Chains A and B, each alone.
Chain A
Amino acid sequence: MTGKDNDLECLRRIQAGDSAALGELYDRYTPLLYSLVLRILRSSADAEDALQEAWVQVWKRAASFDPARGSVGAWLTTVARTRALDRYRSLKSRSTAEGKVETDSIAPAPDPGQAASRSQLGVRVREALATLTPQQRAVLEIAYFEGLSQTEIASRVGAPLGTVKSWTRQGLMRLKELLPQEEWV
């Protein structure tokens, strides 16, 4: 059974109320998802809160997953990213200091086996990103990790909105071509 098949089976069991299945998905995906939300929120406490909310949402909304729209891995990163960006925006609006970064302790080193498999995927993604123009890469990373709209990105980078839309399309098309069928974990 492939990783994707395993994920679908876990999701099916979650829909049936099997919490152990969510535990399995948690073990498989939390290192990736936590790294993502921590990158966005820059605080381990906020990252853990956001990730907890994300997993509860996975539990509650498992039935809304549509395999025709993408893989379980992509869906999970979307749930986690949305939660993190929600929290990021609310913290940002409350913070009085722009660009405040917490320097709390970082978690211990990840499991070498899982880190290796993720790093292989990470290496392939970084190699693919390296083939993009700096502008294409910048708009993708700003949009993904900071949640800015295309209008806000255009203002940030000093480019017309239409150009930002083109860079976004070109960048994602390139990634799609170079990474057509990836196993997440």
Chain B
Amino acid sequence: MTRTRTDWLAHIVLGLGVILFAFPVWLIFAGATQDAGAINRGDLSLLPRLSHLGIFLSVLRHGAADSKIPVWHMLMISALMALGIAIGKIVISFISAYAVVFFRFPFRRIAFWTIFITLMLPVEVRIIPTYAVMANFGMINSFAGLTVPLIASATATLLFRQVFIAIPDELVEAARMDGAGPIRFLRDILVPVSAANIAALFVILFVYGWNQYLWPLLVATDPRLDTIVIGIVQLIDTGSILTPWNTMMAMSLLAIIPPVVVVVAMQRWFVKGLTEVEK
């Protein structure tokens, strides 16, 4: 009796939660199909105009009215940047954590703490010097300039360090007795054992990379390197022209899709990597 009542209550709360999260997305979807002035006039309908669904395709193929860059290109740049950041971070942090945990070398502690301290210096804090360095290397307006400064970070190194520390010493020793050298151990044991953590980190870092705004805005002025986030924001900044809210909403909706795909595809691994401690 009480059991069913709490079940009902739980479902109602759950339903409300879903509505709360889904409503804005629906609003964007509906808004994208209105005419450009509808939002400015304040009569945004909650019902999409099915006759105007083509806006998604046209934005994707040709971009916003006054821009020459199609949205598919922006999505591609965003995806490449997010992938580059995620993969680059994982590779570098994995290797540096491997060195810090499994090898005894001079200044090991100093090396670790140096990495650790960079936690306190995110891109936003060191943006001017970083820009100067990139400019000196001639990496402004290049894909490398877009990704490399965002790749260096301590968070992933720390995470991998924790994962590696939890690996029993005896597993390392068993591999040594079996004749596995450092590279073999990395490839045959360490990577597979921490696969779930790598996947979880990949999801987090992909979304992090996808959402980057300030750095791409600064380092890449060439429109061909515009990310989707930049593309959306640029629509606001059109001076005397009315902001084309419907186009913006269509682009926003398209911009959500790739991170959602990544999260959904790797969901199982993601949860496993964050919760399960495998021995």
The answer to whether A and B assemble together is no
Q: Which residues of A contact B (CB under 8 A)?
A: none
Q: Which residues of B contact A (CB under 8 A)?
A: none
